[in-house]
Amino acid sequence: MPANRPYRRTYRQFVDGNYTEGGRSQYIVHPKFAQSPKNYIRGFLLLQNDLQELFDYIEPSYTNRDCFSYRIHALLVRACIEVEANFKAILRENGYSKRCMNIEKDYYKINKTHLLSYYQVEVPYWKGEHNIRQPFSAWLSTNYNPLPWYQAYNNTKHDRHSNFEQAKFENLIDACCGLLVLLSSQFGTEDFSPGSAFLALESSNDTIGSYFKVTFPENFPLESRYDFNWQVLKHQDDPFENLNYST
């Protein structure tokens, strides 16, 4: 049976397959949908600015995918810290109370509720192969598989001397795209900036940060899609449900 109210920090299709038609996604900006969403998006926007500065020195190109440096490593670490912050926010704000979390036993659960593995991100001005990134594609399997870019972050964080070459350009690109996917799976195209157009249609070229282009999944199971009238729900004290990540 489709969901008759939105879940916290969860953006998904309605039963007719659309995301935003008729202003139905206004639930995203309700104060009880997410705690301090601007802070999470601002972290990404600052990272995106620094990534674009890096492009002045390393051309966004498939042939440069194995470049590695201290600068790339620093940005990779920042991106993955933001990824972890978003994972934890989704879990905790939905009532998941486990204190110590990791990617295999905890963060991986979010793929089922947000379909992260189906999101695609187009990298603009990319030369050569793989301009379309699918940062969570390793999770398309029914069993847990490590994400190469996240694994590179962990390896270089714990032993940079031995694993420094894993701090490479391709892993940084996927980490930044992975962070954008996580934000998009929560907030669609809304970046909460004072001058932004409110909730642009998903079919437009707009996306959070207005640089990368995100393709949203079209395969949410019918029984898990949204089916509610937000104009009625919004008057309730708390119009949201928690996802049960404990089960």
Q: Where are the domains of the chain?
A: 37-221
Instruction: Convert the pLDDT of each residue in 177-219 to its tens digit.
Output: 999 999 999 999 999 987 654 444 344 447 899 999 999 999 9
What distance in Å separates the CA atoms of residue 72 and residue 85, rounded to the nearest whole number?
20
Low-confidence ranges of the chain (pLDDT < 50): 197-205
What pTM, to 2 d.p., does this model score?
0.95
Query: What pLDDT was estimated at residue 195?
Result: 60
Residue 23, both tokens: 């202003």
- Give the Cβ contact number of residue 9 at 10 Å: 28
Residue 122: which H helix or E strand, with range?
strand 120-122
